[in-house]
Amino acid sequence: MTSAEPLRVAMIGHAFMGRAHTQAWKTAGRFFALPRPVETAVIVGHNAERATKAAEALEWQESSDDWRATIARDDIDIVDICTPGDTHAEVAIAALQAGKHVMCEKPLANTVAEAEAMTAAAEEAFARGVVSMCGFTYRRTPALAYAKQLVAEGKLGTIRHIRGVYLQDWLSDPMSPWSWRMDKELAGSGALGDIGAHVVDAAEYVTGLTVRGVSGMLETFVTERPVAGGIEGGLGGRGAEGAEMKPVTVDDAAVFTARFSDADGHPSNAVATFEATRFALGRKNALRLEINGDQGSLAFDFEDMNALDYFDGSRPAEEQGFTRILVTEPTHPWTGNWWPPGHGLGYEHGFTHQVVDLVSAIDSATQPRPSFADALHINKVLAAVQDSAWHESRFTLV
């Protein structure tokens, strides 16, 4: 372990994402040679009692119910934002102005205007040596990172088609309880921003292309849900019969097509279809991406996250077919720091890789990716889909 001064982390929020981030902060230095150690210093929640219990359960040094006072402390170096989207802008901008490095969960904000303000604050802070990053962790799945390498090496040739879907089913039951994810004021959008943002980012990350316009549809299948668990309510579960009902003000499903620009900003001929839903019965966390080029194809499914299917169009016809690549070799991205080949990784490892990249960027004073500017672009894509859906499938420029 390095003898450098530790980076002390304050995490704002301690529900589902807070638990995932905690595991990452505590694990990164055990498997990777971090340039600086990290300490899980303060966990912050809006309820003091629950924050105290969370700090004890997750083994953080302290707890607080005052994020402003926590950010103002001289002994805090990193602020990790794991709260609903309506708070991201206020917390992130304050932290950056206080000279704290920032990790912020996705989507970056609930509106483009908030994301633009956050990006401006991040760029100003970077000029002072303060870095920030948005948490699109699926980028750090080894199989997707390897897919990006294959595309960059020209294995697929010119990209023609992209098909991206993110399928879950945890809201299929109309009695699944209401949570903040069903409130537009808190979450910004439903399946579109919650999971659709991930598959758009993954598609752009792997291909190097950038969405320039979309045409979309949004649908809400269940317009009200029973109250159970309050704002901290999360994934799954079932509400009680006769419970108070609250309206659902976000989309349950999003479907949209997209066109792209290439790395030089010129229009690309590639076309894409995207789908995001929390109503696909039987699908638990199926982030799927298929990319077809004029020389090859790639296919990935997060429910089989350690594998990548690759089709090499240059092989003789009698030898052609998709090859399943088990992405667990030491030469694959990140995997050499974990287990022997064939011993797969899981959902939580992407968060650990995120910590490694953030700490390395802080130490080297470089901009980690995805930056707030990258995440702002995704916010613009989400807004364009919503605008297109509102205008009944009009093609909307990003």
List, for residues 83-103, the tens digit of each pLDDT value: 999 999 999 999 999 999 999
Query: Where does the chain hold its CATH 3.40.50.720 domain(s)?
Result: 7-138
List, for residues 287-321, the tens digit of each pLDDT value: 999 999 999 999 999 999 999 999 999 999 999 99
List residues bridging with 132 in a β-sheet.
Answer: 102
User: Is the per-residue pLDDT at 238 higher than 80?
Assistant: no
Three-state SS for 225? strand
CATH number, domain 7-138, options 3.40.50.720, 3.40.50.300, 1.10.10.10, 3.30.70.1140? 3.40.50.720
Q: Containing H/E element for 237?
A: none
List, for residues 160-189, the tens digit of each pLDDT value: 999 999 999 999 999 999 999 999 999 999
Three-state SS for 18? helix
Residue of 252, 266, 260, 113 lying closest to 193 (CA atoms): 252
Cα(223)–Cα(370) distance, rounded to whole angstroms?
A: 34
pLDDT interval class at 240 (50, 70, 90): low
- Greater confidence (396 vs 123) lies with 123
Residue of 83, 67, 76 lying closest to 18 (CA atoms): 83
pLDDT score at 391: 84
Query: Where does the chain hold its CATH 3.30.360.10 domain(s)?
Result: 141-368+377-390
Cα(163)–Cα(276) distance, rounded to whole angstroms?
A: 12
Strands (DSSP E) found in 142-249: 159-167, 210-219, 224-226, 245-247
User: Is the per-residue pLDDT at 280 higher than 70?
Assistant: yes
Cα(261)–Cα(212) distance, rounded to whole angstroms?
A: 6
CATH number, domain 141-368+377-390, options 1.10.10.10, 3.60.20.10, 1.10.3720.10, 3.30.360.10? 3.30.360.10
pLDDT interval class at 1 (50, 70, 90): very low
Q: Is the dihedral of CA 72, 100, 196, 111 positive or negative?
A: positive
User: Is the per-residue pLDDT at 235 higher than 80?
Assistant: no
Q: Using a cut of 0.85, tell me whether the model's pTM lies above it.
A: yes
